Amino acid sequence: MTHSISSIRSGLLRKEFSAEEFTRLALEHAEKENPKTNAYLTFSAVRAMKAAEAVDKKIAAGEDPGALAGVPVAVKDVIVTKGLRTTCGSRLLEHYVPPYDATAVIRLEAAGGILIGKTNCDEFAMGSSNENSAYGPVRNPVALDRVPGGSSGGSAAVVAQRTAVLSLGSDTGGSVRQPASFCGVAGVTPTYGRVSRYGLTAFASSLDHIGPFARTTRDAAALLQVIAGRDEMDATSAAAPVPDYVSGLTGDVRGLKIGLPREYFLGLESATGDRIHAAVETLKKLGCEVRDISLPHTQYAIAAYYIIATAEASANLARYDGVRYTTRSAAAGTLSEMYRETRDEGFGAECKRRIMLGTYVLSAGYYDAYYIKAQKVRALIARDYAEAFQSVDVIVAPVSPFPAFKIGEKVDDPVAMYLSDIYTITGDLAGIPCMSVPCGVTPEGLPVGLQILARHFDEGTMFRVADAFERAAG
């Protein structure tokens, strides 16, 4: 499926095919290809065909079918969907069917998008490789013996595998950008508050974002434009106006100032570093002015992030107790046994590890020593970016120190796994928009992503740079 938003829309309007025909083929293709990658957990054929029928009726009536008319979209399984199983990659929610839709899902379907399925992910979005899913790991479609990245590995994989044109993931510490880099697609983490979190299963509430995947910057920008904006159901969503991102993609970036943070170029594998430096040279040829900058508190980001994120996770995951919508342990005899046995059987090792870490840092005697200090470091990281953006328009950097690693390579070393997010975590801590755009492959043929970071709510400039680079790099 090599289609884009514009090619599908034009094909529908020229009556080359109907939305129902296209959706039926998309579902057949996705179901046929899925065993290779295990990227989908649930398909939504009935819902998809009903949405396609609605698109065809609008076209027949001469009405605008929507910005995403007939476009097959997949959604990460931590984003709730009414009447459609939402597992969060966990045995605890194996049979959970939500009674409502996330705001992002409502908006993409209102724009004519066709939800064809829910994608596999690390359990409750906790992971960097998509090996923590209770339903088995996702395989990278570029190299099936390697991880697709996490936690939104399934959403990146379906776009790379071309079983969906667009997808939605969630990003807490890099879970959109890192999989996008590993799979060779575009992935966007919007400004915190730009997209409503209503219906996104909470991991770390002050860090969680919903973000789009696409094969091109243009399509990613179009999807973000559809799902962004204030939502009365989410008090943290911003009232900032949503610009027309697509119309700003002119290819002209002359005069823009690009910052290169020296801290992000330490410890890079040469194959990755070579691709990043080549991308910087391309931006120079496009007329950008490149400046060396420093983000001095980057070295503390991993520690701060894993204190804040695990603290918030320990509170958010307390709701999975066997009382309400979770699977309940059959071994439970008393109330306390129900809590203990349900969580012991339902949570995987990584979730348990993060709950324990978070409970520890929030406990009496450690709250000030760890959690408060981590929040202070977070403020310093945000200040680093604010100061940097006084002299540059965007910042470019690697997404990961290395390309996709082999399945099982880091699963027994949590610290090494956590360090794979070292270049993406700071953007989430600061709440700024950032994205990954493909910038080449290693000699082994593994994709490498270029990370672009911008000021709060300045996704437009970020998209301009990414789109111009795409055009120049082919």
Q: Just list the catalytic residues.
A: 76, 151, 175
d(CA 381, CA 177): 19
Say how far apart CA 66 and CA 425 lie, in whole Å.
35
Beta bridge partners, 13, equal none
Phi-psi region of 343 (alpha: psi -120 to 50; beta: other; left: phi over 0): alpha
Alpha-carbon span 359 to 366, nearest angstrom: 10
Residues for the chain: how many in total?
A: 474
Strands 394-398, 257-261: pairing kind: parallel
C-alpha–C-alpha distance, residues 441 and 452, integer Å? 18
DSSP 166-186: EEEEEESSSTTHHHHHHHTSE
Residues 136, 34 contacting (CB under 8 angstroms): no
**How do 394-398 and 447-454 pair as beta strands?**
antiparallel
- Per-residue CA distances from 182 to 49, 186, 439 (Å): 32, 10, 11
Whether residue 336 is preceded by a cis peptide bond, meaning omega within 30 degrees of 0, is no
